[in-house]
């Protein structure tokens, strides 16, 4: 029986193994499927820390229903009853600008009423249908794209915080095409964003779906009653003896027609043979693992950088806060020169993240904007986050709980040239039959993207067998 080894049990590795089991069984094919994880727990960045009745997300908050993949997986797993949709407050997002929190206008009329942007800035956005078209054969940065279509002020106050909220990145270095392929296509297909959004709205209403043009992300943010970790726990539980924790893969070598993995388990070195290998680790770890197999491949993988980010979870007695936290939270444009990137008001969006009468905020620190701040010792980071919350939201209360979660290399950055890196990786993989790469480092960082890419990877493998 052929052996398929998946390396890394984050969402990408767990889902790849899940879809492999399903696809192979549907096709009446047999294989031994093993999933090896260096850490003592599965889930990678998906982890929910439960303490004193608080449920603190280590990384992701949830997934959106604007793409169907997460919800389809939940249905397949039979865990829809454990889902927790976000409250309506999730649609109320704020941007901190000029010393005040401004509600992010959601609809065109609200946008023209809002004073988040100057009158000229709003007019410039209204001029979007007449903006110059995309440059030929250029991997345009998000910053250049936004300046060209929407103007500098929109870049500064809308696009920069959005890129910070998703990637903790810098729009002037990131690739529009790699980060937001749908927007890239929309502009080309409809010669503009407003035209494109209107056309999509018309298409949806023809299909009987009511939709508004919105500056916020579409769809509903979903999590689970017990936090996002529910998803990885269920996937891991289904794999039972196929999942091996605390096993780190050092490298993969070729042996005959197949491969051999060099492992380290409890300080012991072991070997494991495999016919097919899926490397579902971050790109920098994949570079190390595959370096002895193909140096050029490893170089391309190592060229994908990551931004560091720390999540500071602060729990409060709601009565002491002096702020109703009626919204999703806020993001801060870099021009404001604050020390935090923004904060999510978790218990407003998912009430059971905090016990009755308590509130939970998560403050984001670091990113490419301020990498050094993400690495501060916990006490300094918490003091800094508190002082920022005091200035920005008027929250001076003493938290009853404070925890920090440091992601040294937290979020992959799809920089200008990312597409070329992917092409080079594909070209090298063509010479390594049976080796597959799948993680958030390549074609989408959202949980939905990880689910889709895992499905596609498993489908390709099942077809090749």
Q: Which is nearer to ligand FAD, 5 or 186 (CB)?
A: 5
- Cβ atoms 91, 106 nearer than 8 A: yes
Name the burial class of residue 140, with classes exposed (0-12), middle (13-18) and buried (19+) by CB atoms within 10 angstroms of its CB: middle
Q: Which stretch binds ligand FAD (CB under 6 A): 36-44, 138-146, 270-278, 293-301?
A: 36-44
Q: Which stretch binds ligand FAD (CB under 6 A): 57-65, 122-130, 150-158, 171-179?
A: 57-65
Q: Which is nearer to ligand FAD, 411 or 416 (CB)?
A: 411
Query: Greatest CA separation found in the chain?
Result: 68
Is 86 an interacting residue with respect to ligand FAD (CB under 6 A)?
no
x/- mask, ligand FAD, residues 301-330, rule CB under 6 A, reads --------x-x-------------------
Q: Which is nearer to ligand FAD, 121 or 367 (CB)?
A: 367
- Cβ atoms 310, 362 nearer than 8 A: no
- Cβ atoms 311, 344 nearer than 8 A: no
Strand partners, 3: 32
| Residues 193-252 close enough to bind ligand FAD by CB under 6 A | 248-249
Is 9 an interacting residue with respect to ligand FAD (CB under 6 A)?
yes
CB of 307 to ligand FAD, least distance (A): 9
* Contact residue for ligand FAD among 54, 63, 259, 414 (CB under 6 A): 63
CA-based R_g, the chain, Å? 23
* Contact residue for ligand FAD among 19, 44, 162, 347 (CB under 6 A): 44
Which string of DSSP letters, residue by residue, matches 344-372? E-HHHHSGGGS-TTEEEEEEEEETTTSHH
The tokens for 67 are: 């793409």
* Contact residue for ligand FAD among 11, 84, 287, 370 (CB under 6 A): 11
> Which residues are CB-contacts of 283 (< 8 A; sequence separation ≥ 6)?
301, 302, 304, 412, 439, 441, 442
Question: Residue 302's CB: how many other CB atoms inside 10 A?
Answer: 15
| Residues 242-281 close enough to bind ligand FAD by CB under 6 A | 248-249, 280-281
Q: Which residues bind ligand FAD (CB under 6 A)?
A: 7-13, 36-39, 44-46, 59-63, 248-249, 280-282, 285, 289, 309, 311, 407, 410-411, 439-440, 445-447, 450
């Amino acid at each position: 029986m052929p052996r398929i080894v998946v390396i890394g049990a984050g969402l990408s590795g767990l889902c790849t193994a899940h879809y492999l089991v399903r696809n192979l069984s549907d096709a009446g094919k047999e294989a031994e499927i093993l999933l090896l994880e260096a850490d003592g727990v599965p889930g990678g960045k998906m982890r929910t820390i439960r303490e004193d009745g608080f449920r603190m997300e280590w990384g992701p908050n949830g997934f959106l229903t604007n793409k169907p993949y997460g919800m389809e997986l939940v249905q397949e797993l039979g865990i829809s009853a454990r889902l927790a949709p976000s409250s309506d407050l999730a649609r109320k997002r704020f941007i901190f600008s000029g010393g005040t929190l401004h509600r992010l206008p959601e609809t065109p009329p609200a946008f023209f009423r809002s004073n988040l942007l100057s009158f000229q800035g709003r007019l410039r956005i209204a001029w979007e249908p007449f903006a110059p078209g995309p440059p030929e054969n250029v991997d345009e940065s998000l910053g250049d794209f936004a300046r060209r279509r929407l103007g500098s002020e929109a870049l500064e106050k809308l696009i920069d915080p959005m890129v910070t909220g998703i990637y903790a990145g810098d729009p002037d270095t990131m690739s529009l095409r790699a980060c937001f392929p749908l927007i890239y296509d929309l502009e080309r297909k409809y010669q503009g964003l407003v035209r494109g959004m209107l056309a999509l709205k018309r298409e949806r209403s023809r299909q009987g779906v009511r939709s508004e043009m919105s500056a916020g992300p579409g769809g509903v943010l979903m999590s689970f009653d017990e936090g996002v970790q529910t998803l990885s726990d269920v996937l891991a539980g289904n794999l039972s003896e196929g999942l091996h924790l605390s096993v780190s893969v050092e490298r993969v070598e070729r042996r005959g027609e197949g491969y051999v993995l060099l492992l380290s388990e409890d300080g012991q070195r072991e070997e494991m043979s495999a016919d097919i290998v899926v490397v579902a680790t971050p790109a920098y770890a994949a570079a190390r693992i595959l370096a002895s197999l193909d140096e050029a491949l490893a170089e391309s993988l190592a060229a994908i950088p990551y931004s560091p980010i720390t999540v500071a979870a602060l729990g409060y007695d709601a009565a002491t806060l002096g702020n109703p936290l009626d919204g999703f939270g806020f993001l801060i444009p870099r021009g404001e020169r604050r020390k935090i990137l923004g904060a999510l008001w978790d218990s407003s969006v998912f009430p059971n993240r905090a016990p009755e009468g308590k509130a939970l905020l998560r403050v984001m620190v670091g990113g490419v904007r301020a990498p050094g701040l993400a690495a501060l010792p916990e006490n300094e980071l918490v003091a800094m986050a508190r002082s920022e919350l005091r200035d920005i939201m008027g929250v001076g209360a003493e938290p009853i709980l404070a925890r920090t979660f440091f992601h040294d290399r937290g979020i992959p950055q799809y920089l200008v040239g990312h597409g070329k890196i992917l092409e080079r990786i594909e070209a090298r993989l063509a010479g390594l039959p049976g080796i597959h790469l799948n993680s958030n480092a390549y074609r989408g960082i959202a949980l939905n993207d990880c689910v889709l890419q895992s499905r596609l990877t498993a489908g390709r493998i099942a077809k090749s067998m």
